[in-house]
Amino acid sequence: MPELPEVETVRRGLVEHVVQRRIDSVELGRERAYRRVGADRLIAGLVGSTVVSVDRRGKYLLFALDSTETLMVHLRMSGQLLVHDATTPRPAHTHVVLNFANQVEVRFVDPRTFGEVVVFGPDDAESVVPELARLGPDPLVDTFDEMVLRRSLVRTRRALKAVLLDQSVIAGIGNIYGDEILHRARLNPLRPANRVNREQTRRLVRAVVDVLNEAVSAGGSTLRDAQYVDPQGRAGSFQERHRVYGRTGQSCVTCDRGRIKSASIGGRTSHWCAVCQR
């Protein structure tokens, strides 16, 4: 499932193709992809508008339009945004197509259809996308430091891994990067959040920012299912640098002493080394 680094890579791959370009028309397929607003609202909100910027908060892509409305895309499990020439055959599971001038198409493709394409304006943002107002700081966009993180950690005894996945605490971290970040910070995913001291909080902040930035530089992680690709169809390479995610039973490449364990924490399978993560 795309997390912050994958969504940021998608954002960067879209900018040059859509910013300052006008959406001439929209083609809609499977309704589930735009279930939140429906076809009429989506078409009325998009056609004739020019994209002013492509932004991101957490795992949400936000296209600011010159009409003051916003196009939001969430990729969820298997969504892709692909930039194609109009003459390129459309892949299976293409649910929404934005037609720009010069035959450029942005295609929302999503085999599992958990992803969403939504349009909202200043007046209906609160009712249409209430989750945006509840997002915590995005580590690469907003102020994210020891003080910000500590405020969230001291309040809860929940396992550290579950807290990292809570989008109202930090926006953008999912299961893969949650595991890799805790490994980098040498913290056990089961440790209660309120038992993380100042020095460990500092390490955790550093690990969040460093791991996410490194993953963005690598174009994100493309797992064996190969569902995540950037708008040009290219896979990421950060999966080659995963140290714990998906490595259950292998020896730890960091300390060379532990074996990678896995267990379900907050409903997600977590991976860690009990020797170097305390």
- Point out which residues bind Zn ion (CB under 5 A): 252, 254-255, 258, 273, 275-276
Has 2 been annotated as catalytic? Answer: yes
Q: Measure CA of the first residue to CA of the last residue in the chain; give whole Å.
A: 27
Alpha-carbon distance values, 105 to 18, 76, 206, 233 (Å): 9, 21, 39, 14
Q: Tokens representing 18?
A: 């859509």
Cβ atoms 250, 257 nearer than 8 A = no
- CB nearer Zn ion, residue 40 or residue 256: 256
- CB nearer Zn ion, residue 149 or residue 211: 211
Q: Write down the least CB distance from residue 147 to Zn ion, Å.
A: 29
Q: Write down the least CB distance from residue 190 to Zn ion, Å.
A: 15
Contacts of 219 (CB under 8 A, 6+ apart): 9, 230, 234, 235, 236, 237, 238
Q: Write down the least CB distance from residue 252 to Zn ion, Å.
A: 3
- CB nearer Zn ion, residue 200 or residue 254: 254
Alpha-carbon distance values, 223 to 61, 119, 164, 226, 239 (Å): 21, 30, 21, 5, 7
Write down the H helix ranges in the chain. Answer: 4-18, 39-46, 125-128, 130-133, 146-153, 160-165, 175-184, 198-217
Q: Kindly name the residue from 11, 56, 59, 186 that is annotated as catalytic.
A: 59
- Tell the burial category of 183 from Cβ atoms under 10 Å away from its Cβ (0-12, 13-18, 19+): buried
Has 261 been annotated as catalytic? Answer: no
Neighbours of 10 (CB within 10 A): 26
Has 268 been annotated as catalytic? Answer: yes
- CB nearer Zn ion, residue 190 or residue 275: 275
- CB nearer Zn ion, residue 28 or residue 275: 275
Q: Write down the least CB distance from residue 269 to Zn ion, Å.
A: 18
Has 22 been annotated as catalytic? Answer: no
- Catalytic annotation, residues: 2-3, 59, 268
